[in-house]
Chain A
């Protein structure tokens, strides 16, 4: 993927503050992390969260981006954007 609207150096708070619908993604990862990420790691970066709770950082970022795209565009446009980015 060439460009990302979020980066590993953004904190959890920054991401949710900027893209509110990503909150559900963090909640989804709570089970895998074994804790409430938004409670315990709100001021940590995504990279730190991934490392700390052994999450796949790339997948984590993709899931967050998907949530952002889903809220902004219809599904056919999302697929188009993905193809363009991968291309």
Chain B
């Protein structure tokens, strides 16, 4: 397994180095960085390329174990690595009674935890960002999904609009470029 030591390198070098290694066809690699910004950026980039990332902290350094999804898997089992994107554009599920919509959405997100295949991304836009921010009843479910490798993206413009940018509790702030690209690249798009 290739090991890339990016300690001492300023951003964006760790990401560019990781990108190059993945483009060269490395299926598994370890990237070592020595700061949180580099850790987060390399993790985000690797996940955006469909890789699984495990992070280990050793002293003041972070070891990112990056593995492309599908490595060592049979073609049949690779089906579960389809890019399934769940697009949540409201804090409610369905159209009708608001209270019922809240209950259904909470139930939907909790149920996702128990089902397979696991989606690769959950994208929250418009009032959907109320689900990823302070006061949401589904934060724990979303954190559990994130722990399983699901990317949780919240629209930055929407967070700004609702004054919630400082209250994000799970996942990362995203932009329209990332969101549109994720939707275009999705093998399956789920809209609850």
Question: Which residues of A approach B to under 8 Å, CB–CB?
Answer: 9, 11-13, 16-17, 23, 36, 38-40, 42-45, 48
In the complex, residue of chain B having the shortest beta-carbon distance to the beta carbon of A12: B12
B100 is an interface residue with CB less than 8 A from chain A: no
Interface SS majority for chain B: helix
Of residues 161 through 192 on chain B, the ones whose CB sits less than 8 Å from some CB of chain A are 174-178
CA distance A40 to B11 in the complex (A): 9
Total number of A-B contacts with CB less than 8 angstroms? 40
Contact of A38 among B12, B48, B175, B177 (CB under 8 A): B12
Q: Chain B nearest CB: distance from A13 CB in Å?
A: 6
Q: How many residues of B contact A (CB 8 A)?
A: 18
In the complex, residue of chain B having the shortest beta-carbon distance to the beta carbon of A37: B11
Of residues 12 through 32 on chain B, the ones whose CB sits less than 8 Å from some CB of chain A are 12, 15-16, 19
CA distance A13 to B18 in the complex (A): 12
20 other contacts beyond A13-B45, A43-B48, A48-B156, with CB at 8 A cut-off?
A11-B175, A11-B177, A13-B12, A13-B15, A17-B16, A17-B19, A36-B11, A38-B11, A39-B11, A39-B38, A39-B41, A40-B37, A42-B12, A42-B15, A42-B41, A43-B41, A43-B45, A43-B174, A44-B175, A45-B177
Contacts of A39 in B (CB 8 A): 11, 37-38, 41
CA distance A33 to B10 in the complex (A): 17
5 nearest A-B residue pairs (beta carbon): A39-B37, A38-B11, A39-B11, A38-B12, A42-B41
Q: Chain B nearest CB: distance from A40 CB in Å?
A: 7
B44 is an interface residue with CB less than 8 A from chain A: yes
Contacts of A11 in B (CB 8 A): 175, 177
CA distance A68 to B133 in the complex (A): 40
Contact of B10 among A38, A44, A45 (CB under 8 A): A38
CA distance A40 to B44 in the complex (A): 12
14 contacts between A and B (CB under 8 A): A9-B177, A13-B15, A36-B37, A38-B11, A38-B12, A39-B37, A42-B11, A43-B41, A43-B44, A43-B174, A43-B175, A45-B175, A45-B176, A48-B175
